[in-house]
Chains A and B, each alone.
Chain A
C-alpha cells in the first residue's frame, strides 16, 4: 500500500508545478508557450484517437464513428446540453439555489417595475433594429447596385460589421459626448445641435429616448449585413423578370416596388429574422455605453448583471431561460423561411 500512496504523492508532486505553469501564465512569452502547448496537446490527443480507429479491418464500424463524432458530442453534452438543463432547473430556486421558489423568479421578471422597463426596452430593440436596418440596407443595396463605386460603397457600410461592438460602442459614445452649453462641444451630434441653435443634449442619460440612441448603434452595425445579403438577392433576380417589368413600363420606384421587393421577399424575411435574433441577445453595446443604467437595460444585459454582479443566480437563470424562450419562435420561422428560400432558388 505504501507504494501506491507514494505514487499518488509523486504524481501530485510532479503535477503541481506543471499545473501551475499551465494555469498561471503572466507574461507574454509564457502565455504564448501555454498556447502552443494547448494546441500541441489537442493535436496529440486527436491524433491518438484517429490512429486508434484507423484500422478498417480490425475495429468494428461503430468505433470509427465514435472516434469521429465522440469529441464533438462530448463537448456539446458537457458544455451546452447539461448546463442548459441545470440553468432551467436553477431558475426555480432562490438567489443561491438553496430554496425552491417555483415561478417566483419569472413572476418577478414580468411584474416588477424595473424588469418591465427591461422587457419594454428589449421589445423596442427587437422591433426597431431589424426593420430599420433592413430598410436602410435594402435602399442602399438598390442605389449602389451596378454603379462604378459599388465595391467601395459597400465596404464602407459593411465595415461596422467587422469591428467589435465594444469598439462600435466607443465610437458612438464619442458621437454622443456632452459638454455644458458654455464650453465647446466635442461630440459631433451636440455640436450640430448647437449649430442649429438648440441646447446640447445628454443623449445617453435622458430616459426614455436614450434607448433610441443605443438602438441606432446596432442599426449602424446591422445595416451592412442586410445590405450584403439583399444585394446578392437582387443580383439573383432573373433577367427576364426585370425585362418584363421594363416592357411594362416600370422604372425606378415602380421597378423597386413591383419587381425588386417581391422577388427578394424570402431574403428579406431571412434578414429581418436573423437580425432579430442577434438583437435579442445584444449585450456588448448596452454594457459599453451605459452599463444598463438610466433605464436602458435589456434582457441579455440584465442576465449578466443579476448572474455575475448581483449574485442572484436564480433570477439570472430565469432571465436566460426567458431569452431562450423568446428566441425559439424567431429561429423556427427563420429556418423555415431559409428552407423556402433555398427551394425557390
Chain B
C-alpha cells in the first residue's frame, strides 16, 4: 500500500469492478451450485440489471410530475385536445395558465399569501414553546418530570382527528372561528408532542459539563437556555423547523376544518376545492398544483440535508 490514504470510494469502486472469475483459482472447483448461481446473479445484478431497475423506477417516479409540469405550460386548448406527450411534434408553450391561475378568477395569489401567513407563526410558535419545555425536561429537575415527559411522549399517538370537533366547538364559543388565530393555535398544539420529544433528545445530547460550568458561573436557567443551549441547537431547530414548515404548508385537513373561509384558506384547501368543482379545467389545475409545490420544492432543493433529516425524525407525526 502507498502512504497516501485511499479515499474510501475509490476502494469500493475497485471492489465493484471485480469479476467472479477474480477469485483464487483453487476455489473454482469447490464452488457449489449455489455459489455459481450467486456469482451469475451478481453478474446480472451489478451492472446492466441493477442500472436497468434503477432507471425504470426513476422514470416511473418522475413521469407523472413531469407530465403535469409540461401541461401547465401548454395552451389551454391544446391541453383539452391532446396529451402532453404530443409536444414533441408540436411544441407550444405559454405562461398564460400561471398568469390566469394567479390573478384570474381563481386568485391563487391570495391563497398563496394565506399559506404564508398561516405557516410562519405555525412554525415559530410551537418550536419556541417546545424548546422551553424540552429544556425543562432535560435540565431542570422538578417533581413529576419523568411522568410528564412520558405523558407528552405518549400524546404523539393521538390522531389529530380525535380533537377536531371539540376544538372547533370551543373556537366557535370564543368567537375566533374562521380566523387565522384558530389555525395557528391548532397547528401549534398538534406540533408540540413531537417537537418536545425530538428537541429534548437533542438537548440531552449536549455535554452536561457545559451546562454545569454555566451554572457554576451563576447563570440562571433563562441565561443557560439562551446563551449555552440555543446556539448549539441550531441544526436541530433547522431540521425540525423545515419539517414543520412543510407539514403546515402541505396540510389539508387542519386548514379545511379550522380555516376554510375564503379569507383564511391556504393553497391546498383552495386547489383541492378547484379539483372538486372544476375538475376539468386542467390548465388552471396544473398551474395551481405547481404554484402550491414551488415553495416545498425550493426548500427541498436548497436545504436537502436538513430536510431529509427533519423528515426522517418527524415521520411519526400524524
Contact = CB atoms under 8 A, between A and B. Distances in A.
A280 B161 CA distance: 12
A34 B180 contact: yes
Interface string B45-73: 11000110110011001111101100100
B297 A188 contact: no
A75 B195 CA distance: 13
Contact of A323 (B120, B135, B159, B225): B159
B38 A249 contact: yes
A150 B141 CA distance: 46
Interface in B171-216: 175-176, 179-181, 184-186, 188-190, 192-193, 196
Interface string A41-61: 010001000110111100001
B162 A321 contact: yes
B157 A191 contact: no
Nearest to B58: A156
Contacts of A172: 64
A327 B71 CA distance: 39
Contacts of A164: 249-252, 268, 292-293, 296
B256 A304 contact: yes
Interface in A154-179: 155-167, 169-175, 177
B268 A80 contact: no
A35 B81 contact: no
Interface stretch (A113-121, A206-214, A250-258): A250-258
B252 A324 contact: no
Given A56-B220, A162-B307, A28 B158 contact: no
Nearest to A85: B166
B137 A69 contact: yes
B63 A188 contact: yes
A35 B145 CA distance: 34
Given A162-B307, A164-B249, A68 B221 contact: yes
A23 interface: yes
B253 A283 contact: yes
Interface residues of A, number: 121
Contacts, number: 364
B101 interface: no
A225 interface: yes
Contact of A72 (B50, B152, B161, B299): B152
Interface stretch (B90-98, B230-238, B275-283): B275-283
Nearest to A300: B161
A278 interface: yes
Interface string B91-113: 00000000000000000001001
A185 B83 contact: yes
Interface stretch (A101-109, A122-130, A136-144): A136-144
B157 A31 contact: no
Contacts of A25: 179-180, 263
B9 interface: yes
Nearest to B62: A156
Contacts of A255: 38, 42
17 contacts: A32-B113, A64-B220, A73-B133, A76-B152, A82-B166, A143-B57, A146-B16, A147-B50, A147-B51, A163-B65, A165-B250, A186-B282, A188-B85, A252-B44, A278-B315, A283-B252, A307-B164
A102 to B, nearest CB: 19
Contact of B117 (A32, A156, A320): A32
Given A26-B263, A188-B83, A223-B61, A174 B136 contact: no
A343 B313 CA distance: 17
A62 B140 CA distance: 9
Nearest to B296: A162
B6 interface: no
A226 B180 CA distance: 35
A170 B137 contact: no
B193 A80 contact: yes
A80 B189 contact: yes
A304 B269 CA distance: 14
Interface in A215-240: 220, 223-225, 228-229
A307 B299 CA distance: 34
Interface in A59-116: 61-62, 64-65, 67-69, 71-73, 75-76, 78-84, 86-88, 90
Contact of A76 (B57, B128, B193, B299): B193
A153 interface: yes
Nearest to A169: B275
Given A62-B142, A72-B192, A253 B38 contact: yes
